[in-house]
Structure 1
Amino acid sequence: MTAQIDGWLREILRCPVCTGELIDGTAPDGAAELQCAGDCEQPGQRRGYPIENGIPVMLADEARVFTV
C-alpha cells in the first residue's frame, strides 16, 4: 500500500515521538498509513501516520494513537 513512497525515504523515516521503526499499516477507514513497529510512549500504545497523496504526514498531532 505504501509502495508509492521512494525506498530511500522509506528506510530513513522514523516515528517523531519514539524514534522507532515504522511499518506499513492500514487505518480503520482503510487508508494506508505508517505505524510504529513497537510501543510509543506507553506500553501497548502506538501511532499511525497518514499518507496523503503519497506523502507521509509525520506530525505527532496528526497521528492516530491506538493500542495493540
Structure 2
Amino acid sequence: MSIDKELLEILACPKCRGDIRLSKDEKYIVCDNCKLLYEIREDIPVMLIDEAKQVENTDEY
C-alpha cells in the first residue's frame, strides 16, 4: 500500500514548510529544499525533523 495522493498534497516539510514529494521507491517523503528524507513506516510518514535522514543530493531519491 502506498501513501494516499491527497495526503501528500496537504503535507509540508516540518522544517521549512515547503513542498515535499514521494521518493521513487516510495520509502521516503523527500524535501528537496532541506535535503531531508522522512521515512515511511507501515504506510505512515514519520515527519519528525530529529528522525529525518540528511542527504547531500535528493535527485537519487
**Range class of TM-score, shorter chain:** 0.7 to 0.9
Please identify which structure carries the higher helix content.
2
- Cα deviations by residue, 1:31-54 (Å, 9 ceiling, x for unpaired): 71011132x2xxxxx100000000
Residues matched between the structures, number: 57
Calculate percent identity across the aligned residue pairs. Answer: 39
Equivalent residue letter for 1:57: V
The corresponding residue for 2:39 is 50
1:35 aligns with 2:30: yes
Q: How much is the aligned-residue C-alpha RMSD, in angstroms?
A: 1.9
Structure 2, gaps ≥5 residues long: none
TM-score, normalization: structure 1? Answer: 0.71
Structure of higher CA gyration radius: 1
More strand by share: 1
Mark the runs of 5 or more structure 1 residues left unpaired by the alignment: 41-45
How do residues 1-68 of structure 1 correspond to structure 2 at under 5 angstroms? 4-25=2-23, 32-38=27-33, 40=34, 46-68=35-57
Q: TM-score, normalised by structure 2?
A: 0.78
